[in-house]
Amino acid sequence: MSLSNVLMYFVPIVVTPILSRMYSQEAFGEWGVFSSTIAILSVGMFWGYEHAIVKASSESDAQHVGIICLINSLITILFTVLAFEVGSTTNVSFFQSFPEKYLLIIYLFIYALYLILYNFCNRQEKYNVLAISHVVLGGSQAIFRISFGLIVLVTVNGLILGTTLAQALNVLFILVCLKGLLNNMRWTSFSIEKVKELYLQNRRFPLYDAPASIMSFAAFQSPTIILSQFFTKAEIGCFSIIIQLLLMPMSFIGTAMGKVYYQQLCRTQGDYDAIREVSKKVVNTVCLISIMPLLFLSVGGDQLLVIFLGEKWTASSEIALCLALWSFPTILSQPLIPLYRKLDRQKNLLLFNALYFIGGVGSITYGCLSGRPLSLILLIFSLVTALCKFCMFTNLLKLCGLGYKQLNKYIVFLWLISIMLLAIRIKDIVTVSI
C-alpha cells in the first residue's frame, strides 16, 4: 500500500502544474468549497461504524456492520438533500452559490460504497487490491481532469466532475476484485436483532469517534467554507491548492499507514508490548516525513511553488508560509489516531478534536469578522491549531508507551531549526499585516 502511495505521490507533482495552467483560480476556488463539504459529510456519514467492520469479531458481524454503514449513509445523504433544498429556498448564500449540487449527492453515494468496500478489503488483508485501487483512483482522476481541461467545459467544473467519475471507476474496480468474496457472503443469515445488538455494542463510535472525526475534518475543511464568504474565489483557489500540496505527505503516509496500523493494532489482542512496537515503527516514519513541507518552505520553497504553479499563483507564496506550521503537527499526529480506537480512548480523541475545532474555526471566524488580512488570519489559525495537534501527539506517545526522549535527537533538532527558519520568514508578513 505504501508503494502504491509512493507512486501516486508523484502524480499530483506532475499533474498540478498542468491543471493550474488549464483551470482558473476561480475554478480551484469552487473545487475547494466542494471538496471541503464532501470531506466533512463523508467522514461522518457512517456515524463512525465503518471502523467496526475491521474490529468485528466474526465475518457475520462484519457483514451486519456493513449493512449498518449503508443505512447510516443513506440517512445522511437524505438529510443533506433536505438541507440544500431548505437552504436554497430560504436564500442562504452558501447553499445558493454552492457549485455542482447534484454531483455532491452522487459523489456521497459513490463514496459510501467505496468506504464500505475499502474496510472489507482491509479486514481481509487484501492490500494488493487496496494498493491498485489507489493507482486507479489517482490515475483516472488525473486523466479525467486533464481531459475536461482540454475540452474546456462551460456548464460544469471539470475538477469536480473528474473527481466524481474517478471515484465511480474505483468502486467498480474494487467490486470486480471482491466479486468472489461478495458471492460467498451469507446474506440469508441477516438478522435485524443482530443489527440492533451491534448498534449498541459499538455505540462508542457514534457517541465519541464520529463526533471527533467530524470536528477534526470540519476544522480542516471549514476554513475554506468560511473564507469563501469573505474573500474572492481567486484567493480561495490559492488557499485550496496550497492546502492540497501541504497535505500530500499526509495522503502519502496517513491513508496507507493509518489503515494498516489500525488493522495491526486490532491483531495485537491487548498486548501492550506489541502495541508499543507497532506504534514505534509508525512514529519513526511520521517524525521524518511530517517535517518535509515545513523545512521545504522555511528555506525558500514558497518561491518554487509559484514557479511550479505558474505566474498567476503569486499570492500562493505568502499563503504557503502562513500554513506551514499548521501542516507539521497535523501530518505528525494523523496516522497515530487509530490508537484511540484500539484502546477505546475515543473520549481523548473527542476532547482534542473539540479543542482543535473550537480553536481553528474560532480563529478563522474572528479574523474574518474583524476584517483582518487573509495572511494574518491564516497565521493565527496555524499557531492555534498547531498547539492543539502537538498536545494530541504528546498524548498519543504516552498511550503507546513512548516519549519525546525516545525520539531520534537529530529529528527533534531538525524540527527546531525548521521552526526557527520559518519564524524568520514570516516576520515580514506579520509586520505588514499588523
Determine contact, residues 294/422, Cβ cutoff 8 Å: yes
Do 194 and 227 sit in the same domain of this protein?
no
Nearest-angstrom CA–CA distance, 420 and 297: 12
Query: Helix crossing, 316-333 with 302-309: angle to 10°?
Result: 110
Determine contact, residues 214/43, Cβ cutoff 8 Å.
yes
User: Would you say residue 311 lies in a domain?
Assistant: yes
247 in the same domain as 146: no
Assess whether 189 and 233 both reside in one domain: no
CA–CA separation, 136 and 88 (whole Å): 36
Is residue 212 in a domain?
no
User: In the chain, what is the straight-line distance between the N-terminal and C-terminal CA atoms, in Å?
Assistant: 46
- Is there a domain that residue 53 lies in? yes
Q: In the prediction, which pLDDT does 249 show?
A: 63
For residues 348 and 257, the model is more confident at: 348
pLDDT for 48: 64
> Could you give the CA distance from residue 130 to residue 136 in angstroms, rounded to a whole number?
10
- With respect to residue 208, please indicate whether it lies within any of the assigned structural domains: no
In the chain, what's the furthest Cα-to-Cα distance?
68
Cα 418 off chain centre by? 24
The answer to whether residue 267 scores a pLDDT higher than 80 is: no
Look up the pTM and report it.
0.68
Instruction: Please say which residue of 202, 235, 250 terminates a domain.
Output: 202
Q: What is the CA radius of gyration of the chain?
A: 21
Distance separating alpha carbons of residues 225 and 218, to the nearest angstrom: 10
pLDDT tens digit string along 336-350?
A: 888 887 777 877 887
Q: Mean of the pLDDT values across residues 87-94?
A: 82
Q: 47-61, 218-232, 359-373: which has the minimum mean pLDDT?
A: 47-61
32: number of Cβ within 10 Å? 27
Question: What is the reported pLDDT for 224?
Answer: 82
From 202, 234, 252, give the residue that closes a domain: 202
The cell for 434 is 499588523
Q: Would you place residue 301 in the very low, low, confident or very high pLDDT band (cuts 50, 70, 90)?
A: confident
Count of CB atoms within 10 A of residue 348's CB? 18
What is the per-residue pLDDT across 198-211, written as a single tens digit (0 to 9) for each? Answer: 666 666 666 666 66
- C-beta of residue 13 within 8 angstroms of C-beta of residue 142: no
Q: Lowest mean pLDDT: which of 204-218, 287-301, 323-337? A: 204-218
- Are 277 and 414 contained in the same domain? yes
Domain co-membership, 174 together with 58: yes
Comparing CA positions, the residue from 193, 203, 206, 289 lying closest to residue 250 is 289
- By CB atoms closer than 10 A (0-12, 13-18, 19+), residue 60 is middle
Q: Are residues 95 and 230 in the same domain?
A: no
Same domain for 236 and 192: no
**Cβ neighbours for 48, distance < 8 A, ≥ 6 positions apart:** 205, 206, 208, 209, 210, 213
17 Cβ contact partners less than 8 Å away, ≥ 6 residues apart: 308, 309, 310
Final residue before a domain boundary, out of 149, 174, 202: 202
Cα distance between residue 54 and residue 266, in whole Å: 8
- Give how many domains the chain has, as a whole number: 2
Would you state the pLDDT for residue 169? Answer: 92
Whether 207 maps to a domain, the answer reads no
Question: 143 and 245 in one domain?
Answer: no
With a CB cutoff of 8 Å and minimum separation 6, the contacts of 220 are 36, 39, 330
Q: Are 351 and 278 in the same domain?
A: yes
- The answer as to whether 210 is a domain residue is no
Residue 136 lies in a domain: yes
What is the Cα–Cα distance from 116 to 226, expressed in whole angstroms?
Answer: 30
One domain for residues 317 and 413: yes
Report the amino acid identity of residue 43. Answer: V
In a domain, 211, yes or no: no
In our burial notation (b when 16+ CB lie closer than 10 A, e otherwise), range 269-290 reads eeeeeebeebbeebbeebbebb
Average pLDDT rounded to a whole number, residues 237-258: 71
Which grid coordinates are listed for 408?
A: 531520534
pLDDT one-digit tens code per residue, 375-423: 888 889 989 989 998 899 889 888 888 877 777 677 778 888 888 888 8
Residue 152, pLDDT > 80, answer no
Q: How far is 83 from 298, CA to CA, in rounded Å?
A: 42
pLDDT value, residue 87: 85
Residues above pLDDT 90, as percent of the chain: 3
* 318 and 270 share one domain: yes
Q: What is the domain extent for residue 159? A: 1-202
Residues 414 and 328 in one domain: yes
The overall average pLDDT reported for the chain is 79
* Residue 197 φ/ψ region, left for φ over 0, alpha for ψ in the -120 to 50 degree band, beta for the rest: alpha
- From residue 5, alpha-carbon distances to 136, 210, 373 in Å are 11, 26, 36
